[in-house]
Amino acid sequence: GDGQIEQLCESVTSTSYHREMDLEAAEIDRTCLSEVLPAAQDAAASSFGITQAAANPAIVKKVKKVVDTRLDAPELAVALQQLSEFYGNNTLENRRNLRSTIERRSVDVNKKFVGCFADVMAKLERVEGHVERLADCSQRMRQRLQAAQATTSQVLKITDQLQKKEVTAESQKEVVQAFLTRFRLQPNEMAVLNSGEISDEFLVVLSRVAEIQVVSKKLLRVHHKTALMDIVDEAGALQEKAYNRLYKWLQEKFARVHADSSDMPSLMKTALKTLRARSQLYKVCLEDLAVSRRQALSQRFLQALTRGGPNGHPKPIEIHAHDPQRYIADMLAWVHQALA
């Protein structure tokens, strides 16, 4: 930032200034030393043994320091070279103005230094402006990201809840599907039961309806559910309708019993056995069957009595009417054969 650049410039300026001041001070000391060293040495030599105790300690220390300075030091050579660039003749005025000259030169150097860093400062200011804009943009993006994160977290939460509900719904769907498969008829079974022909498949579906009703009634003793009650009612209605169809079909079949038919088909036997669940209808069917069989037997007996068998064989029973014993024996034989 600006503070760091200002500290850097002050540090560089201070270092340059102190270095130049040290070099100029060294040059001044060298110049003074070249002027006063012979005289000081003569004075010291002449009065060493007499006035040594009265000499100024500061002057003695300074002279000693100057004497001990190494003339071949690199710093001294650099200082002298820099001094030679602007220092003219070794006059009294130049010596008096040496410090001010060095200070002005230092100020000029600092101005040049500041001028050189002006472009850098301008660029740094532009960079700082870009950085600030980037910081603002980053802040806005951070706020948007936080808002998006909050929204996304809410969406994720809702999505997770919906997924859990979906899993629960799938489980419930499977349970309901299994329940309906167990306690409801399939469309093809409904078609067979309502409009199909009376067949073995019809009887199987009817027995399944009876089983569904029995199981539903057992479950109703433990769980009083509306669905079970509806299933019981539906199964009862289907049973009544199917038993009525079965009853009418049996009546039609019994009405067509031929005089020469000695036995019923297996489908009619199974249908009559299934109709036992409805005792009233079963009794009526038995009565109809008895009437039909009685009429058929009567017709067969009259035919055997008067006409005989097919193509006249066996002969009619009445042909032996003049012989009562054989006549009765032939009738009893026919009855025995009809009942066998």
The pLDDT tens digits of the residues spanning 246-263 come to 888 888 887 776 555 556
Q: How far apart are CA 75 and CA 72, in angstroms?
A: 9
Range of lowest pLDDT (18-22, 185-189, 249-253, 278-282): 18-22
Quote the tokens at residue 107.
């100020």
Quote the tokens at residue 301.
């007996």
Largest CA distance in the chain: 210
CA dist list (Å): 75 to 71, 79, 154, 181: 10, 6, 73, 108
Average pLDDT, the chain: 76
SS3 309: coil
- What's the pLDDT at 15? 46
Q: How far apart are CA 270 and CA 151, in angstroms?
A: 69
Average the pLDDT over 190-196 and give the result.
81
Q: Please name the residues in contact with 44: beta carbons below 8 A apart, sequence gap of 6 or more.
A: 55, 63
- What's the pLDDT at 34? 52
Range of lowest pLDDT (115-129, 178-192, 219-233, 258-272): 258-272
Task: Decide if 30 contacts 76 (C-beta within 8 A).
Answer: yes
Quote the tokens at residue 330.
């032939």
Rounded to two decimals, the pTM is 0.46
Q: How far apart are CA 84 and CA 80, in angstroms?
A: 6
Torsion on CA atoms 52, 53, 54, 58, rounded to nearest 10: 80
Residue 318 is given by DSSP the state: G
